[in-house]
Amino acid sequence: MSITAAVVGGGLGGLTAAAALHARGVDVHVYERGQALREQGVGMHLGPNGTRLLRRLGLGPRLAEAAVRPDALEVRAFHNGAQVAVQEMGEVWERQFRAPYLTVHRGDLHRMLAGLLPAARVHTGKELTGFREGPDGVRLEFADGTTAEADVLIGADGVHSAVRRAVAGEDAPVYSGNSALRGLVDAADVPGLDPARMYMFAGPAARVLCYPVSGGRQFTYVVVVPAAEGDAESWTSATDRSDLDSVLAGWAPQVREVVAAAGEVRRWALYDRAPLERWSTRRVTLLGDAAHPMLPHHGQGANQAIEDGVALALCLDEEVDAGADGIAAALRRYESVRRPHTTRVQLGSRTGQPPGKEEKNSMANTTNNNINNAAANVNWILDNDVEANLNNNGTNNNLNNINGNNENLNNNAA
């Protein structure tokens, strides 16, 4: 018996889950509150743990056109641009992790994922106001007065998730003490940067990361700085370019090229939430930022949502019984595999270190840790193959390592 699935939220995680379910023949519908299906933001990192899954969904050729596989990460001195260190990536990492590390514009990836679904499966202008879970399914209620029915409800509605509040209750955002100024510049306007490479400039009170997107035609820049907590937990707030200019006054010539070329600048207040103790009921579950919003210091927010979506589709596909027991068993399996792993990534993302090695979340510590992230600190993340974990019934070494860290996770979450 086939199941029906309702995905609330048309972001990267929701669309990945929907595409993976649709590919397995599941009757899935996406409900997006916006009047159009679009993704805000700039660039993002796709680790091998994400790209291998996207390739299996059939997006390999399109990623090859729109994304960039950086040859290396260069760490440069903030004041004069002198090279401090180089981490080879490109072919080296693709061989090591069996899939490429890519940088891509969020909008490009969003359009790719949306293209995997028939238009009739995506419903815009559908703001969820509530839902009722019963023995025979879930009834969704929307602000426009319409309703929908499904066997399972998947909350992919972001950090302010209405589904999260219903499943896990209210919780408070945790401010990191930092915010990020970010935007896009044309590669032609920053000749000091090679569009085949990523760059990090680490200063005493800020750091700058620049990486190519849009097939190398543009660079995304991210400037992380200490900042007083504002009034809103937002990652799209507009700010003035003078803020960027003042923070980066006296920096290296390559950084000043970025400042001169910057157009619209956005400020992203860096919040996360404490890890949840549960994600699911018998017919409702969470994924992506709705389940585990995290800071960007591992570059894994979208990758973990992609892993969630594929893992959830695989678990639901294996439970052919649409009854409450079958759905509940699938959601238990999904959560048992994903929640320990994402908790470890979420906690480690606060400083760029694995759990158990956290230091005070200062700018200096975070800068140093992010330089080290190019090597061993993220290998366990990039090497993860969530499909293999599930297909091997949890006996994969990665999963054993995750389960072996449960005690450490609990200590860090306390």
The residues assigned a catalytic role are: 211
Closest CA to 413 of 296, 275, 298, 293: 275
End-to-end CA distance of the chain: give it in Å, rounded: 42
What is the number of helices (H) and of strands (E) in the chain?
15, 18
Return the H-helix or E-strand segment holding 258.
helix 253-261
Closest CA to 70 of 322, 345, 299: 299
45, 33 Cβ separation under 8 angstroms: no
- Rounded Cα distance between 325 and 329, Å, is 6
- Rounded Cα distance between 335 and 211, Å, is 33
- Rounded Cα distance between 311 and 13, Å, is 11
Q: Cβ atoms within 10 A of the Cβ of 352, count?
A: 26
94: which 2 tokens? 């693709």
Residue partners of 411: CB distance under 8 A and separation at least 6? 356
42, 74 Cβ separation under 8 angstroms: no
Could you give phi then psi for residue 202, rounded to 5 degrees?
-105, 110
- Rounded Cα distance between 113 and 18, Å, is 9
120, 74 Cβ separation under 8 angstroms: no
